[in-house]
Amino acid sequence: MPIRSLTLATLLLAAAPVFAADGDTPLAQERGKARPLIIIAPSPTDPTLVHLKKALEEPANREAFAQRNMVLYTVVNTIGERNGKGMDAQATMALIRELKLGAGNKTRVILVGKDGEKKIEADSIEPKEIFATIDQMPMREKEAAAPAPAAAAPEAPAPAPAPKAAKSGKGAAAALDD
């Protein structure tokens, strides 16, 4: 009986990292928070990679990228980066496995929505097409509509709290005097 328990415990310990790795993938961490744009290229001089990175550095595109809660993943050979910061090899391989791309040496550009589903998978694409696709998503329409009322709300209460704060300050001083 103890040998069976020991064997079962050993198997569970060996399998635990495999089960934990599924939930710790880069795309799983972004789900519900950001829209990953993933560029997988065979070399750092790949024309699609260079063009997209250069286009996303332009001020208008950089602003549009940030407004849409996007994150840029690049994988060149097997070296991954997230928004220009290096990723470890394990996270990079988990990202590639999660995308289920298979073997190939061609460049891929993939847009993943906040729901974790692939929205675009292409060999090459322009930033305007990416932004247009995101703007048509139902979640993006809700995000675009939500900031308008939120922006108007802080303007109205701003003058009201100032007098209340002064009154509460006097009331607090009077309470201390008693």
pTM: predicted TM-score of the whole model, two decimal places: 0.64
Burial pattern 131-170, b for ≥16 Cβ within 10 A else e, equals bebbeebeebeebeeeeeeeeeeeeeeeeeeeeeeeeeee
* Residue 5 pLDDT > 80: no
2-145 CATH pick, 3.40.50.10140, 3.30.470.10, 3.40.30.10, 2.30.33.40: 3.40.30.10
Provide the pLDDT confidence category of residue 32 given band limits of 50, 70 and 90.
confident
Q: Mean pLDDT of all residues in the chain?
A: 75
Residue 141 pLDDT: 59
Domain boundaries, the chain: 2-145
Look up residue 76 and give its amino acid.
V
Provide the pLDDT confidence category of residue 25 given band limits of 50, 70 and 90.
confident
What phi-psi label fits residue 58: left (phi over 0), alpha (psi between -120 and 50 degrees) or beta? beta
How does pLDDT run across 77-130, given as a tens digit for each residue? 889 999 889 999 999 999 888 888 766 778 899 999 888 888 888 888 888 998
* Residue 15 pLDDT > 80: no
Question: Angle at the Cα of 78 (from 76 to 80), degrees rounded to 5?
Answer: 65
Query: What percent of the chain has pLDDT above 70?
Result: 62
> 112 near 118, Cβ under 8 Å?
yes
Q: What is the DSSP letter of 178?
A: -
Paired sense of beta strands 70-76 and 35-41, if any: parallel
Provide the pLDDT confidence category of residue 165 given band limits of 50, 70 and 90.
very low
> 114 near 33, Cβ under 8 Å?
yes
Provide the pLDDT confidence category of residue 136 given band limits of 50, 70 and 90.
confident
